[in-house]
Amino acid sequence: MTLVTDPVAVQSRRTDRSGWDSGGSPAAVVLAESVPEVQAVLREANRDGTPVVTRGAGTGLAGAAAGTQGCVILDVSRMNRIREIVPADELAIVEPGVITAELDHAAAPYGLTYAPDPASAAMSTIGGNIATNAGGLRCAKYGVTRQAVLGLDVVLADGTLLKVGRRTVKGVAGYDLTGLFTGSEGTLGVIVGATLRLRPIPAATATLAACFDDIATAARAAAAITAAHLTPAMAELLDRATLDAVGMGVHRAALGVHGAGASGGGGDVYGAGAGALLLVQTDGLAAEQEASAVERVLAPLASSVRRASTAAEAESLLAARRGALPSLERLGRPLIEDIAVPRSRLGEAADAVAAISAETGVPVFTIAHAADGNLHPIIVTDGSPASADAAWEAAGRIFALALRLGGTVTGEHGIGVLKRRWLAEELGIESLGLQHKIKRVFDPNGILNPGKAI
Ligand SMILES: Cc1cc2nc3c(=O)[nH]c(=O)nc-3n(C[C@H](O)[C@H](O)[C@H](O)COP(=O)(O)OP(=O)(O)OC[C@H]3O[C@@H](n4cnc5c(N)ncnc54)[C@H](O)[C@@H]3O)c2cc1C
């Protein structure tokens, strides 16, 4: 175990990738390297009533990993061993600090893949993914992190090591504590080990890039895929403003697209004046047939539909999607919203977000895990208080919209600190009250990530 008290290193963990700064001074950072070390830290903190903020890679977008006044930041990123891959059972047993994409790479030689792939997979940790119940691009077909977690080892607030779940794909003995810890944002226990489901690498993939006049039409097209009962592995949506920010010129070069406009904005790669791009990938033995069926659904609404002809071309398109958020971060400080709506209402939601942007005068960039109905309207501020206030005003209207459409204020990033004020409205006070009681059962002294998630 390493204790870090250097003020610069400690203060740098007052925030996470959301940019929210707690403003408080954490007491110290502990870099834990083993389960007994995590247990020792929690035992002592519980005795003294010291808050503990568990941290993986700090890529969270809701302020949940931000260190607060007087807390110990328990960084588990050094617990990063893949302990076992069991091909015959299609599972892996890992420590919490394993980087998400590294597990996927380690499974590949066995013909297996770890399906949940947040766009941050190259940086985020498995422990952080489980604590936020992260989604990702392939979740359209394979489900979010919860669907991949079979069992967990968790250290409770008093230092007790608890094992929940199992190695089997089925199992219903007792309450589902594995599910309860998944998505609990470090407020119920510290995840120190996980048994995870792996999947066979799909035999084939087919990738489509469809252009639309505007994002609402693209969103309606994505909803039409669901309505046609087709299940692509992913369906990712980017609006024109985001495509421009990503600088698709780079990707055009990779695609071998040359000539007029080849270094300008992104929307006209596949058709002049395109206002949005929908990337759809199908997979499995019938990938090509499914892609053809998707193409037939999209064609009446799209200005163009193109099938990637090589794996490199498909990867280049997906890289543009994964690079969207970092590209927007280069423009200013992004406030990233994460609403999800019933998939049939995605077009309505896209229209309403555009209307909110027009009415408030706040520019909104939109990307979406479209097949999940999960929209990320992103407001880039210049960091000034006035621009932050305007952004929150627009964000409040976007949250109200999500709830009005029967959706949620957070599809995958979590409540953290930033969305707490909207939680009671979504859950209702009875449900929220029950959640506070559950928290007290696991953590009677309230030391685990207080003030976050619920
Ligand atoms: C460019 C970019 C793209 C992103 N794309 C996606 C996306 O597609 N889908 C998505 O869902 N998210 C996405 N995110 C958000 C983020 O990557 C995820 O929330 C991720 O799961 C956080 O993992 P982390 O290791 O960084 O966790 P951290 O940020 O360190 O922590 C997040 C939360 O988990 C808790 N925690 C961390 N480790 C543990 C542990 N071992 N035990 C208990 N609690 C723990 C923390 O206390 C905190 O509450 C993106 C972020 C970025 C920067």
**Which pLDDT belongs to residue 273?**
57
Which residue has its alpha carbon closest to ligand 1 atom 15? 60
**Which pLDDT belongs to residue 274?**
81
HSE toward the beta carbon, residue 163, CA cutoff 13 A: 5
- What is the pairing mode between strands 234-239 and 365-369? antiparallel
- CA 274 to centroid of ligand 1, rounded, Å: 33
Tell me which residues have their CB closer than 6 angstroms to ligand 1: 16-17, 53-61, 64-65, 76, 96, 118-120, 124-125, 127-129, 131-132, 134-136, 185-186, 190-191, 325-326, 412-413, 449
- CA 124 to centroid of ligand 1, rounded, Å: 6
Give residues with Cβ within 8 angstroms of 285, minimum separation 6: 203, 204
- CA 405 to centroid of ligand 1, rounded, Å: 27
Q: How far is CA 325 from the centre of its chain?
A: 11
pLDDT tens digits in sequence order for the chain, 454 residues long: 999 999 999 999 999 999 999 999 999 999 999 999 999 999 999 999 999 999 999 999 999 999 999 999 999 999 999 999 999 999 999 999 999 999 999 999 999 999 999 999 999 999 999 999 999 999 999 999 999 999 999 999 999 999 999 999 999 999 999 999 999 999 999 999 999 999 999 999 999 999 999 999 999 999 999 999 999 999 999 999 998 888 754 444 443 343 333 333 444 444 445 899 999 999 999 999 999 999 999 999 999 999 999 999 898 888 888 888 888 988 998 999 999 999 999 999 999 999 999 999 999 999 999 999 999 999 999 888 999 999 999 999 999 999 999 999 999 999 999 999 999 999 999 999 999 999 999 999 999 999 999 9
**Which pLDDT belongs to residue 264?**
37
Which is the closest atom of ligand 1 to the Cα of 192? Answer: 41
How far the first Cα of the chain sits from its last, in Å, is 30
Which is the closest atom of ligand 1 to the Cα of 329? Answer: 1
- CA 59 to centroid of ligand 1, rounded, Å: 5
- CA 423 to centroid of ligand 1, rounded, Å: 19
Q: Pocket of ligand 1, candidates 12, 117, 120: which has the most ligand atoms within 8 Å of its Cβ, to mutate?
A: 120
Integer Cα distance of 157 and 39 in angstroms: 9
Which residue has its alpha carbon closest to ligand 1 atom 37? 128
Which is the closest atom of ligand 1 to the Cα of 54? Answer: 47
Q: 288-309 b/e with 16+ CB inside 10 Å = b? A: eebbebbbebbeebbbebbbbe
- CA 383 to centroid of ligand 1, rounded, Å: 23
Which is the closest atom of ligand 1 to the Cα of 131? Answer: 34
- CA 285 to centroid of ligand 1, rounded, Å: 33
- CA 129 to centroid of ligand 1, rounded, Å: 5
Which residue has its alpha carbon closest to ligand 1 atom 23? 128
Which residue has its alpha carbon closest to ligand 1 atom 46? 65
Integer Cα distance of 112 and 106 in angstroms: 9
Which residue has its alpha carbon closest to ligand 1 atom 24? 128
Tokens standing for 249?
């010129």
- CA 64 to centroid of ligand 1, rounded, Å: 9
Which is the closest atom of ligand 1 to the Cα of 65? Answer: 48
Could you tell me where the beta strands, DSSP code E, fall in 132-252? 149-155, 161-165, 190-197, 199-200, 205-212, 234-239
Which is the closest atom of ligand 1 to the Cα of 411? Answer: 11
**Which pLDDT belongs to residue 78?**
98
- CA 367 to centroid of ligand 1, rounded, Å: 18
Contact 32, 77 (CB under 8 A): no
Distances from the Cα of 215 to the Cα of 6, 350, 354, angstroms: 47, 7, 9
